[in-house]
Amino acid sequence: MPAGYIGRFAPSPSGPLHMGSLLTALASFLDARAAGGQWLLRIDDIDHQRCRPQWSTHIQETLQRYGFRWDGPALVQSQRLPLYQQYLQQLREAGYLYACTCSRSQRTAQHTAQRVYAGVCRNRGLPFTSTCSWRLRLDDTAQWVSDLRLGTQQFLLPECSGDIILRRRDGAIAYHLATVVDDALCQVTHVLRGEDLWPETPVQLFLQGLCQFPSPQYLHVPLVTDTHGRKLSKQNHAQALPTHHTGPVVMQLLTRLGMVPEPDWQDLSPEQLLQQAVIHWDRSTLCRMINTQRR
């Protein structure tokens, strides 16, 4: 692996950590530490309708109980809004954005019928006001996406995402822009995250190109699902992680990542358990095991 590895874990504080989010944190942490790199924690809390400060605190405390230690202070997106506004303005001045006044009900109807936003406001030349959405103009753009586990695929952006919103009508900055800016400014080189975010990657790569940012390497980790095959999520009321007897949880997740934990690891402290996992980590084992299962 190259020198200067910087990885990150970026939970949204809309609820407690669950098994699925901890699996992503674990994979990201092990890959970074095994490479002798840095591992950053970022709190993605710009969605003020869903995120709460108490969950941010709870997430950090839970990670510490499981033995995780990150480099530097946690990055908090809600404290970085002027940065996002700066890049949003640059994209607007370069002609990549347009104003949209479609209501939520109109957008929902369009998405239901056509899967993606139909570009109703794209050529209307509406003024950029504080009460409209600002959309990214994608046109007929094809984007190649490479993943260390899933391989390389081509996506036609108008078909898979449409003209996405970068600034909502309430003034909130969208996830895509914030995460692209933060990954670039923090010099993140590797992003290990859940496979549910794989479809979001083409737009983020496109944005990185517009902003002249380098692109990190991506590895999308398989999801933890419930008994109905649904991914564990806060929306599906996934159970919060236990805050005591953390060892068995980590041992189970290590197995999901293709490792074979030693029996005596269960007697280790959380920090010692992660240290042993770092020593034995092999990313290629994860990729080979999962790819074999997918065929």
The predicted structure's pLDDT at residue 1: 43
Which is more confidently placed, 3 or 166? 166
Is the pLDDT reported for residue 114 higher than 80? no
The confidence band for 235, taking pLDDT boundaries of 50, 70 and 90, is: low
The predicted structure's pLDDT at residue 162: 87
Count Cβ atoms below 10 Å from residue 287 Cβ, excluding itself: 17
Quickly list H helices, the chain. Answer: 19-34, 53-65, 81-93, 104-114, 157-160, 175-185, 201-210, 247-256, 270-280, 283-294
Quickly list H helices, 170-237. Answer: 175-185, 201-210
The pLDDT of 265-294, averaged and rounded, is 82
The predicted structure's pLDDT at residue 41: 98
Decide: 255 and 290 in contact? Cβ < 8 Å.
Answer: no
CATH topology of domain 6-79+181-191+214-294: Rossmann fold (3.40.50)
The predicted structure's pLDDT at residue 109: 47
The pLDDT of 15-28, averaged and rounded, is 93
Amino acid identity for residue 152 in this structure: T
Low-confidence winner among 143-157, 166-180, 183-197, 218-232 (lowest mean pLDDT)? 218-232
Separation in Å, CA 254 to CA 34, 36, 213: 14, 19, 33
Is the pLDDT reported for residue 253 higher than 70? yes
Which is more confidently placed, 177 or 160? 177
Name the 3-class secondary structure at 159: helix
What does the alpha-carbon distance between residue 202 and residue 208 come to, in Å, rounded to a whole number?
10
The pLDDT of 214-218, averaged and rounded, is 97
Is the pLDDT reported for residue 236 higher than 60? no
Burial 26-35 (b: 16+ CB within 10 A, else e): bbbbbbbbbb
Is the pLDDT reported for residue 256 higher than 80? yes
Domain ranges of the chain: 6-79+181-191+214-294
The confidence band for 165, taking pLDDT boundaries of 50, 70 and 90, is: very high
The pLDDT of 25-54, averaged and rounded, is 94
Which is more confidently placed, 235 or 38? 38
Is the pLDDT reported for residue 89 higher than 70? yes
Residue 94 token pair: 């370069």
Residue 74 token pair: 């946690």
Residue 145 token pair: 């996406």
**Euclidean distance between the first and final Cα of the chain, in Å?**
27
The predicted structure's pLDDT at residue 242: 82
The predicted structure's pLDDT at residue 177: 97
Is the pLDDT reported for residue 294 higher than 80? no
User: pLDDT exceeding 70 applies to what percent of the chain?
Assistant: 88
The pLDDT of 199-213, averaged and rounded, is 95
| Spatial CA neighbour of 195 closest among 256, 254, 261 | 256
* Cα 65 to the center of its chain, rounded Å: 22
